[in-house]
Structure 1
Amino acid sequence: MSMLSTEVEILEENVSSGAPRRPNVLRRTFSSPQAWIGVGVLVIIAAWAWIGPLFAPDPETTDPLAFSQSPSGAHWFGTNSIGQDVYAQTLVGLQKSLVIGFIAGPAATVIAGFVGALAGYVGGVWDKVVVWIIDLLLVLPAFYILVLLSPVFKKLSWIALVFFIAVFSWMVMARVVRGQTMSLRDRDFVKAARYMGVGTFTIIRRHIIPNVASLLIIDATLGVGAAILTESTLSYFGFGIHAPDVSLGTLLSQGTSAAVTRPWLFVFPAAVLVVTVLATSLVGDALRDAVDPTSGANRD
């Protein structure tokens, strides 16, 4: 029995493609200039968001001599109608948007990976229930659901917003993971583990998830940008972050009415938002090109 166990373990290690592919995927990813550009820009943006406020004015302090002032040496992004520094407020808003994006995006991927893998592996009634829930949530517009739930955000902290963004962002990837799991559960190494009495959750953790890890990493990366956009859109329309908190969405909302007369109130937060989302998209696209063997970037 011990020799059989050893042979099964060797078979699992040799057949399972998750672990060996990971270094190759990373190598192919960072062979692309867009991956380096995306990662570099994200690192710079994150460092700027947390280090920049140390050298910026207090975002809540008003300058009575600089109401609605255009960008200058004293106020790099100008000031708003009550004399608050737009540069300092943009950094604070960027912090909040990044935190929401980097929590909600991966959290949605974790939900998708667990639910999709469990449905695809177990099958039966559980699979039918999960598919029904996914189809229902895909039919219902997630944005409008979040709008309807916005009173909850206002009563609770912004953490509630993060939770609900993640809860309504996992369905598409869950279907992908479910389909991949249904093909993996018939592989020899999964059958061997099942015949040896390995539990369902252990098989999913050790053999299913590693083989779909590349897809999950891509989804988590792209999900960061999607979560930032979702939060910004909700906050822009007054359904997301609310005072005293600040995000890029709230700054865009405040600056829209003055986009023509005082464009700095809108342009700078919008530019920061676009660059941040574009950087996450570059990293996600590079990962997708590295994983997809049919991608034009990987053709010799």
Structure 2
Amino acid sequence: MASIGKQMTVGGYAAVEQGGEAPLSPEDLGDITKETPRDSRRLTRRQIITRRFWRNKGAVVGAVGFLVMVLFALFGDAVTPWTFTDVDSSAFLQAPSADHWFGTTQGGRDVYAMVVEGTRKSMMIGVFVALLQTGVAAVIGSSAAYFGGWWEKIALWATDLLLVVPSFLIIAILSQRAGAAKGSIALFIILLAGFGWMLTARVVRSLTLSVKNLEYVNAARFMNVPSPVIIARHILPNIASLLIVDATINVAYAVISETTLSYFGFGVQPPNTSLGTLIAEGQRSATTYPWIFLAPAAVLVLMLLCVNVMGDGLRDAIDPSSKSGGKA
């Protein structure tokens, strides 16, 4: 009587043992107790993010397009005999032709070669500004939240101050004074990054506050692991997804900032060339000789479109609640 209704576990499944009957064996349960390796395998977070990203067709198109833009900036001048400083005295304001694919300027320079050089310069500025800006935000935001106290007060005060400073005017004045001197591009990169990290630093600080008291962080602290090591090994990796997305989207913002400043004559200075300087040069003759303006403008639009679509795809892939990123 005691055995009636009694459960026994076979292969992880509960079977009811009836009185007067033999207990169920694994063979009687059939294949339901068998697990295939495919079903039992668990994907890592990196694999999930990768699969979500590659299932987003728009993100893939953006990534491929950005890769094509990088290759164009690096190797585009290898397929033309002209450099951006060469002058063809027999082809002033020539329309696109077999000799000059994108036409020439009023000075006889090849527009294609100038666009390649301008894309290279603008992309270099955008990438370096994004990396430097995100790095500064990660260091200041995470350290302010981790250490707290007087350092957090100073960091927040500096962040609030820089948010209200007219950064456009400061960058314009300093970059104009540097002119085309050696190191002016590096100074321009530092200025753009120095006035663009504040909002990201605030987000990093908020995320660090939610991470710094977790068990593994406390365990590392009790083991007397140095604080910079804890931040680098245990805190920043947990917010790396935010930093990756932020750095990707900041490339587009940095390119827009560089182009805007260069367009008004406050960014990249001649003889250096960027997409902003090319657009500024071409807009004066946009209606009469449109190829001078349309070529750099089209490249700029394509670059920004690819970067933004790729950044949105990364955000969708990293955010598990996103619907547009697809299922892993």
Alpha-carbon spacing, 1:262–1:52, altered in 2? closer, same or farther (3 Å): same
Give CA deviations for 1:223-274 in whole Å, capped at 9, x if unaligned: 1111111111111110111111111111011111111111111111000011
- Residue pairs, 1:182-193, within 5 angstroms: 182-193=209-220
Letter in 2 for 1:65: S
Structure 1 partner of 2:101? 76
Mapped partners of 2:270, 2:171: distance in 1: 18
Residues 22 and 214, structure 1, Cα contact 8 Å, conserved in 2 = no
Given that 1:70 and 1:77 are in contact with CA atoms closer than 8 Å, whether structure 2 keeps it comes out as yes
Moved over 3 A (4+): none
Match of 2:67 among 13, 18, 43: 43
Question: For residue 298 of structure 2, what is the aligned residue in structure 1?
Answer: 271
> In 2, Cα distance between the equivalents of 1:152 and 1:280?
31
C-alpha distance in structure 1 between counterparts of 2:230 and 2:313, whole Å: 29
Q: Distance in 2 between matches of 1:158 and 1:85?
A: 23
2:79 aligned partner = 55
Alignment of 1:1-300 (within 5 A): 21-56=45-80, 57-154=82-179, 155=181, 156-298=183-325
Distance, in Å, in 1 between the alignment partners of 2:130 and 2:121 is 14
**Is the 8 Å Cα contact of residues 56 and 326 (structure 2) preserved in structure 1?**
no
Contact 2:167 2:195 in 1 (8 A): yes
**What RMSD in Å do the two structures reach over aligned CA positions?**
1.5
1:25 Cα deviation after fit: 2.0
Aligned to 1:11: none
Matched residue pairs, number?
Answer: 281
Unaligned runs of 5+ in 1: 1-19
Q: Percentage identity across aligned positions?
A: 43
Which protein has the larger Cα radius of gyration, Structure 1 or Structure 2?
2
Deviation of the 1:137 alpha carbon: 1.0
Q: For residues 102 and 325 of structure 2, what CA distance do their matches in structure 1 show?
A: 42
Q: Relative to 1, partners in 2 of residues 1:101 and 1:184: Cα closer, same or farther, differing over 3 Å?
A: same
Cα distance change on mapping 1:273 and 1:136 into 2, 3 Å:
same
User: How many angstroms apart in 1 are the aligned matches of 2:326 and 2:303?
Assistant: 29
1:90·1:269 contact (CA, 8 Å) conserved in 2? yes
User: 2:96, 2:291 within 8 Å by CA — same for their partners in 1?
Assistant: yes
Larger relative contact order, structure 1 or 2 (CA cutoff 8 Å, min sep 6): 1
Aligned pair in 2 of structure 1 residues 128, 21: CA closer, same or farther (>3 Å)? Answer: farther
**Matched residues in 2 for 1:70 and 1:36: separation?**
35
Which structure 2 segments of 5+ residues have no match?
A: 1-43
TM-score, normalization by structure 2 = 0.82
Query: 2: CA distance between counterparts of 1:141 and 1:285?
Result: 29
| Matched AA of 1:98 | M
Q: Check conservation: 1:37, 1:279, Cα contact below 8 A.
A: yes
Deviation string for 1:7-52 (max 9, x for gaps)?
xxxxxxxxxxxxx533322322222112211111111111112222
SS at match of 2:312: helix
